[in-house]
Amino acid sequence: LADCAERLFASEPKLLRLRSPVFVLGDLHGNMEEVQWFSKRLWALGPLHSAGTFLFLGDLVDRGPNSVELLAYMLALKVASPRKFKILRGNHETRRMNMQYGFASACCSMFGQVNGRRVFDRMSRVFDAMPLAALIDGHVFASHAGLPRPVRGTFAGLLKRIEALPSHVESVMDGGF
């Protein structure tokens, strides 16, 4: 699952360009109940029978009780319906935040110390490949926490800098674009 998801994310641009309709969904933080609520209401007949694309703005893991399960479910949705499910990287899809806020320890609790570390390292590489932002209909900018500060140059220049990033970015936490 991780291999397939990483390949899909790496094949997508860092700045996704999407067309309406798009459902924009925020932080999940391991809250499986929230994802189940979305599933029952937004893609109850299956994602392929729902209008539009589903854009998740990152922060899938940490803090909540089901980070590992939720991430597995979201990656499965992505692999099964890559055109319907778009997932951006949030600040909780970084190693530093995962070590501090619980995803790393959740992996170790679920799979044991050695295998948990392997799962955590593998998921970190998946996170590294995720897109960072989306532009909907050429007018609506979507990212996890808005624009990095300070924004240097024009908005169009910022979009070009995001698009120019490599397919794998280890951390977006240490500076602007």
What does the alpha-carbon distance between residue 160 and residue 155 come to, in Å, rounded to a whole number? 9
* Active-site residue, from 29, 49, 92, 168: 92
DSSP letters, 107-161, are HHHHH-HHHHHHHHHHHHHHHHHS--EEEETTTEEEESSS--SSPPS-HHHHHHH
Q: Which residues of 1-21 are buried (b: 16+ CB within 10 A; e: fewer)?
A: eeeebbebbbeeebbbebeee
- Cβ neighbors of 162 (< 8 A, separation 6 or more) are 14, 15, 132, 133, 177
What does the alpha-carbon distance between residue 69 and residue 86 come to, in Å, rounded to a whole number? 18
C-beta separation of 30 from 64 below 8 A: yes
139 is catalytic: no
What does the alpha-carbon distance between residue 30 and residue 62 come to, in Å, rounded to a whole number? 6
Active site amino acids:
92
